[in-house]
Structure 1
Amino acid sequence: MAEQITLVATAAMGLESLVAREVKALGYEPETENGRVTFKAPISAIPRCNLWLRVADRVKLLVGEFEAKTFDELFEGTKALPWERFIPEDGKFPVTGKSVKSELYSVPDCQAIVKKAIVEKLKLKHGMANRMPENGALHKVEVSILKDKVSLTMDTSGAGLHKRGYRIGQGEAPLKETMAAALVMLTNWKPEAPFIDPFCGSGTIPIEAALIGQNIAPGFNRSFDSENWNWIRNKHWTDAFNEAEDLANYDQELHISGYDIDHKLVDIASENAIEAGLGDLITWKQMQVSDLTLQGEGGYIIGNPPYGERLADSERVQQIYRQLGDVTKGHPTWNVYILTAFSEFEEAYGKEATKKRKLFNGFIETNYYQYFGESE
């Protein structure tokens, strides 16, 4: 097999540039499009990217791309691709799909045709007369058609990369781990600086900050579908895990705290941190925002507070934002970063943000309000 492959790291809208930065840091040259970052890399990049990408949703192998406006073109284009390089004769390969603004709009039909074309190609190459057994390792195939351009990919990750393996419990509306990591990475926080999340919920933002602070690979605690693929040498996985272990800085001192008004959530956050191997590194406490005290200079507050989507909650949420503004008023060197869908946040907080960034928390359009602290 040729050493170079094409990988696609998918990303939530607005986070593509962060994923591209991560890909570049791993030594690959990214090309950024809406919702995805594409790059050529050696096979060893599959383990490394799955282990290290904090903000990407998944890492997919791009098998091929072509134009198709008819089912015949879809069948022949799919069959022409080198599936036998990636799927063994006993490989299990379910096909999922999506189609946007294309002549071929029936997704079930597209899935069936792609499946049939792959089966034909594999039977031809593996010399099989009967149906494929599909009792081996999982190779999830996706057909994506946008304006008649077909992209065929295989999912190397399995469960989404936000599933780090440490979340034992969660609150009602948990922040995805990938988004929590993004919120930290969009700041200039360094591990030496104090870090507080006053609305910690099940602890995702402080836990992700601790992983970043000690340079721990976010995928270190979980498995991936492509670990079972026979064309990726075990050595690639061993080397990637060894690299992650060597680069982790477990001696890095951290000053991270997570507070929440709900003591049950604080308990869950503490359990999640222990599961992540960070039990002693983060301070958890039940506390309301008005009782928050800031010590030292140049600290960071990063939080995802309640949004007050229901009218009944709006007044309570405004009060929380006002209290946060009162707490931070006397600490001009502190940096404050708040993610909320509440459109009147700045008025309630009492100050216009230095910078705003539009982000999507799931399907909710939010703003990331950024207040830069004065230099000490």
Structure 2
Amino acid sequence: MNQNNSINIGGLEFSLDELAHIRPEKDLNKLEQFYQDPTLKNFKLKGNKVRDLIVSKLNQSSDQFEKQTGKRPGLGIIQSGDLLQSNTYVKIKEKKAVEAGFNVFKAKFKDCVDQKMIEDKIIEFNNSDLVHGFIIQLPLIPQEKFNIGELIKQIDPTKDADCFHPYNVGLFYSGDGYALAPATPQGTLMILQAYGIHLEHEDKTIYSAAISGRSDIAGKPFGRIIEAKQNNYNVDYHLMNSRTDTKKFFKTGSYNILISAIGKANYYRPEDVPQTTKIIIDVGVNFIKNPNYVAGAKGKKGREFIQVGDFHKTAYEKAKIVVPSPGGSGPGTVAALLVNTWKLACKKENFL
């Protein structure tokens, strides 16, 4: 366990006092004992708390940034269509960026938009001195109108807050000193760091992880992050694609970490989780009909659709520690997006 008085999370320094309201124990020795307790089950890591801690730190740093540069860090968002999920994500990203002290430049297009209009907005953001990083909120609607790969290639790599541009992807996979990382796995890593969780056995022997889903956004970069020397993890992993019988693979393996990013609602059940599992990381974002929906009701009952993960909530009981969905990797993704934008702004404006 690290005995330092501060912890680096996403390039930001946090004191142990700042982390005390997140961690179950402030004392590092007691914290280690807490996680090693054989009776510990289904301890959910609260991504919202970690995200808001990072937002607060960025807000303090943004004030100093403005004093030195005369600018605020600027986040650009390009969105097309009126998809409910995208509207929700953009609203949260915009809200948290403002709370972090950032300026937000949002370009939302109607369904009549075409490839050229998006390209023009990319060029505008590329050339703007006020936009330090920006994203294209996917999917763009209507999807059949767009060549997403070509649009991403037109983003200035020095403003690629999602780390999707081929140049940045190459840097991410080519060495241990990468500057940016895709937001979803990086955000999950920051949650684990904030809670003081180390991905290795108590005797420092190697952990074994199974990753279900090999998308460029989540699955593949998860593997890269947990094997990177700079993160001081001790993990061997297996990456599975859509043709793999992942349930069988999970059950027959002696995995300590299960990560899923396949987008199948409540797919994994308790019987699919091996007894060796210590950590479940649920990256699945799925919307299903709310069985308790009441039209006009307030709160959760008034939502026609609710979000669930790839793991059924009962499957979480088989693990000691859980990064759940919702409430875990989603808020972590937002935090990582803001951290990426902050890093791009600091580099652009020579702010140290």
Q: TM-score, normalised by structure 2?
A: 0.36
Which entry has the higher C-alpha Rg, 1 or 2?
1
Q: Which has the higher helix share?
A: 2
Structure having greater relative contact order (Cα 8 Å, sep ≥ 6): 2
TM-score where L is the length of structure 1:
0.34
